[in-house]
Structure 1
């Protein structure tokens, strides 16, 4: 059996090059990896390409300065960087019909449930239902999971150990957030009547009928909780 190939040794420091040339080489490496990756590239991965003395933030700034007249940019998203088309060209991309059709827009209920999960994760379906004063269906949660916005969190310490849900890195990437700290201020959403923290935290809300049975006896296999970029809260 052939042995797996070892990755090539990369000269990160480029100490034999003049300073200006070395900087340009580092810029090229950073942009090349970001360009080649379908997912946002983390700081840790980019740091493997450049020398110890390289300042990644300054490298990114210099790359972005060169892209200022281009139809795309480097954007900080989901804990890393990614090439993204500038919003002014979104209509052109859609009209070309060369890209995959976008997901249908979230319904108002889907959007507010997703925001609630973002703010209060890990949160159970029953807690979400209490917050909205109506049942948040399993089908709605399943749709958000299918789209990669929501994943399984740890089991709740409540009686019956119902499932909890958390947002995923895909949620951050889709909405262009770098971390959960980029979520809109909760007060703004409360003023707009979209979310009610007081209602969620009220202790006298009635339980959602059937929550314990539905959530604890679903027959689903337990999943490893998602590790959310930026943590599970805005603190």
Structure 2
């Protein structure tokens, strides 16, 4: 195999491989006695001004797109993402209670807050750290950003809807835990009533078992019959 064919074979091997190839492996595929390092340098020179370059990656060689073409190889696309209910609740709590700590958010929501929820709101640019609370552990406090106001069309935080407006819009009735909390309260009340009923029944049973109340009255049946 002549020199030109060796260059072509080397080019084909590198192009077809999905990972960088080292000199020993290339030497196994090329004819015996081929000067692989020299062939690589020659092939590298041939691609120096092309859109694809031959570069050394670690202990191997591979084709890569030219660095100066990187901006043209990137496609930027906005992908709208729907916030989770946990993220929406957290954002609302931060907006109305800021500055607020993570523990306070968890206390208000009644459930633990996953780390991903804070990360999502940070990535959206709607919340940011507001400092540290002067408390044990100095927890970080969170607040909203100008981007939050801009996204929701608010001039400032005083423009946030109040309780009456939220009730009129039916939003307070749509809280995920409201129904379950009400049901749990009703169950608790019902349980208390059942306990009271059981206590009353126990008292009545004890009353009925009282020997003093049910002592038989001594009567003379024979006299009654005679009469």
Superposition TM-score, scaled by structure 1 size: 0.38
* Structure of greater Rg: 2
More helix by percentage: 2
